[in-house]
Structure 1
Amino acid sequence: MPLIRDVKTLGQQAKRALRRRRAQAEWDSYEAERGALPERHFEAVIYFADTVVNQYQLRQWYEPMRRLSVQHPVAVVMRNVQTATALKEECPLPIIVKRTVAEIEEWLETQRVGIVFYVNQNTRNFQMMRFRDPAHVFISHGESDKDYMASNQLKAYDYTFIAGQAAYERISKRLIDFDVDKRLVRIGRPQVDVEYEGPTLPDDGRTVVLYAPTWEGDRPSMTYSSLKSHAEPMLDALLATGKHRVVYRPHPRTGAYDPMFKEVHSGIVAKLQRANTEDPSAHHMVDTESAFGWHLAAADVCVCDISAVAFDWLATGKPLLLTEPASPEAEVDRTGLAGLIETFKAPDAANALGIIESFSSEETRAKFAAIVEQYFGDVTRGGSTQKFIREAGAIIRRRASPVLSPS
């Protein structure tokens, strides 16, 4: 048996090596056709050291960064050539691949970078932080009440861009010896200013319900997903009415840690396919490809877990059903959104229709508006993007330097 395992391991390593070589060859060809990027040009960098599986974290910043780039040119520095190859056509910003710290240092010395943005907490972020002159800014990949959003890792960055007062309070309560007034910068949620392209759903009077569960998490405190606990009875109730259209939007990492969730996901896909076969006018949708965003305008109701989706949806003012994690080990912040609105518990999943109707009142809409103010501040169209560009620009002007020095 050990010999068989060794052979399988060697085979997997060989396949990975082959994929890397192919990706490198494709990237080299693309880079040669694109030509050299200008020197003394880029003033900001998004550093993304991750693999393709986490590309969604970068995607949601495309448009805000493109708008920043009009005033302060932005490049994306990647460490993984396979990720760069996968994203080179869709990313509106120039991508630079630097596999070693030495290569990053050489490139930075040719530029005027005053700020480096980070969308996640990849351990390789620490390698980029050796450079002293640019400001290192954590922007995350969404506002939420997940335990992740108040990690002690925030202390590694010069600044953390946050959405609003709720994030300020969350971090100030949880982090010890952290200067929130100096290091937290409110910018709202620039993603709410973006008009997203997406599929057109039939305009036939059906109520469109977005179901967007998060992934299963990689530790007990992060087990927020409702996929195993809520999905089946809730969907059975919605599919039976003939008056609802379900748009199922699973998290890109579903099943990455627990394969059982991938099986549950496959079952949901099959369920929606059967429903469409039985009623071709239903047009239920499984969306695993498009960038998240178009759903905010297309759907009438959202059912989701404690995640960034809840907060992006919240700003629409439309009914939101926030699930209660089935796992007692999930870290739920009752001073956050889960304490401000009634959560949707697994035993009530079959009664989804009644809960949706109860959440559609004017009183609930007014309550949501107050919560939006708490989390995002003013959500007037364009305001968050202006704040983001203004705050980033101020840091760039303070930090831009002709030569970047490593530690």
Structure 2
Amino acid sequence: MEFFGRRSSAGPDAAHRLLDTPGGPAPEGYTPGEPVDGEVAVHFADDPRKLYQLKQWLPVFELLDERHHVVVVLRDPATLAELSALTPLRCVLAPAVPDLIDLYEISDFKVAVYVNNSGHNFESLTQRRIQHVHVNHGESDKVCMVSNQVKAYDRVFVAGPNAVARHRAALMSFDHDKLVPVGRPQLDLRPAPLLAPTDRRTVLYAPTWEGENASNNYTSVDVFGPEIVAAALAVPDVRVVYKPHPRVPLSPLPSMVDSHDAIVRLVEDAARRDPDAGHQVRADGDILAVFPGCDLIVTDVSSVGLDFLYLRPEQPMFIADRREDRARLLAEAPIAAAADIVDSTTLAALTATITDRLAADARRADRRAARRGYFGDLGPGESTARFLDAVTETAELRDRELALLAEARTSTPGRSA
């Protein structure tokens, strides 16, 4: 097959590379100028602070690799060093833009996958012989889940009906045919449980971080966090687990640092006073591996709450509202209608409310309906199957489109192959 636009390069243009990143890191994991064997390129440009966005996809990409050879294309040397120890997938470093362009031009990737909204993704989107697919790194009602950037991708894989509605409500002049509902493949995985069995009821507090800007700030840590944990610890016969977003402990904001430290102290002090309770802080580990041991979750507007909804729909949920705007919360986050809300008006009664919900759950039917809204009626394994099939179909579409372009080039008057 003829690949239009392919250069017969013997290697990257050293002069242009020097102009782009003088003194910058060199490519790793492949020989510049030689093709890299692979059908799917997972492009990830960010430093290790955002690696959690890619880590959750690794088991799914490893399954995809059995059908379509996957190569993870990284742009940051520290990310390469950390990721290489986490996955058997081939990882390559193309740090400069000329490195990336040459890698794509000399290789034959059919699909490129993107797990975030990094501005560096647009450097990868310059490649015209690839179908570009945005998958994001979770399903949530955060404002960042619908970026105008999705217009640049050929396809946008989303979880289900609510995600489709979210894009329709937020974007102008967007081709909604790009949206491909595939569920959430990560939720088909069943990692080994991290929490030891206990006779106590387990209350999980799993807040999100503060986001990149005010509009994307949904964390309860700095407004209600210590009070939430103190209220949970006051419930009789419970184990309290604090599992913050990976970026909460790294926050540069004094209010976040102080509140996070206060929460850790509360949990650790309670654990010392009652060693048999099992109270604990889980800063590391897969959040999905924490869920099996939990009877109730207190969380924020985030993917964690919706993952819990999918995996543990029989267990009560509490959603914190840092903005204390109940009408806005219900309008923007449908899950809130199936959960108890934590804000300044409900905080004083939180211990009693958690105690009541553990004893008698009155919102189970509401959560089942909410689960269908976010994920449809997918059963175990169906999200993964949909995702794999959607990637295959996209790769086949790429080949058909490329053949049509080659045919158009040869049939255009005045043009030659």
Q: Answer yes or no: same fold by TM over 0.5.
A: yes
Aligned mates of 1:253, 1:327 — CA distance in 2: 23
Query: Secondary structure of the equivalent of 2:322?
Result: coil
- Distance, in Å, in 1 between the alignment partners of 2:238 and 2:49 is 31
Q: Report whether the alignment pairs 1:351 with 2:349.
A: yes
8 Å Cα contact 2:159/2:182 also seen in 1: yes
User: Which amino acid is 1:349 matched to?
Assistant: L
Which of 314, 318, 322 lines up with 1:321 in the alignment? 318
Give CA deviations for 1:52-110 in whole Å, capped at 9, x if unaligned: 11111001101111111110111111100011111211123211111112222232234
Deviations 1:338-364 (A, max 9, x none): 552342223423433333355455651
Say if 2:227 is the partner of 1:233. yes
Q: Provide structure 1 residue ranges, at least 5 long, that are not aligned to the other structure.
A: 1-23
Other structure's SS at 1:211 match: strand
Deviation for aligned residue 1:224: 1.1
* Cα deviation, residue 310, structure 1: 1.0
Aligned to 1:397: 396
Answering whether residue 88 of structure 2 is matched by residue 103 of structure 1, we say no
* CA pair 44-135 structure 1, distance change in 2 beyond 3 A: same
Task: Please tell me whether the aligned partners of residues 146 and 331 of structure 1 are also in contact (alpha carbons under 8 angstroms).
Answer: no
How far apart are the structure 2 equivalents of 1:359 and 1:135? 47
**Structure 1 counterpart of 2:154:** 158
- The aligned runs of 1:335-374 (5 Å cut-off) are 335-341=332-338, 342-359=340-357, 361=360, 363-374=362-373
Gaps of 5+ in 2: 1-24, 407-417
Q: Which residue of 2 aligns with 1:19?
A: none
Does 2:232 correspond to 1:248? no
Secondary structure in structure 2 of the residue aligned to 1:99: coil
- Secondary structure at the aligned position of 2:346 is classed as helix
The Cα shift of 1:275 comes to 1.0
In 1, Cα distance between equivalents of 2:228 and 2:195: 24
* 1:257/1:123 CA distance change after superposition, 3 Å: farther
* 1:216 and 1:257 in contact (8 A); partners too: no
Identical-pair percentage: 31
Q: 1:56 to 1:200 in 2, by over 3 A?
A: same
Say which SS state the counterpart of residue 197 (structure 1) adopts.
Answer: coil
State whether residues 218 and 322 of structure 2, in contact with CA within 8 Å, keep that contact through their aligned partners in structure 1.
yes
Across the aligned residues of Structure 1 and Structure 2, the Cα RMSD in angstroms comes to 2.7
> What's the counterpart of residue 3 of structure 1?
none
For the 8 Å contact 2:225–2:260, the answer to whether it is kept is: no
Say which is worse superposed, 209-218 or 324-333, in terms of deviation: 324-333
Matched, 1:191 2:186: yes
- Indicate the structure whose relative CO is greater, using CA pairs within 8 Å and at least 6 residues apart: 1
Q: TM-score, normalised by structure 2?
A: 0.83
Instruction: Letter of the 1:319 partner, please give it.
Output: P
Matched, 1:93 2:89: yes
1:275 is aligned, of 270, 277, 292, to: 270
**Structure 1 contact 223–327 (Cα < 8 Å) conserved:** no
* Aligned residue number for residue 15 of structure 1: none
Quote the Cα distance in structure 2 between the aligned partners of 1:286 and 1:67: 31
What is the SS of the residue equivalent to 1:209? strand
Partner of 1:7: none
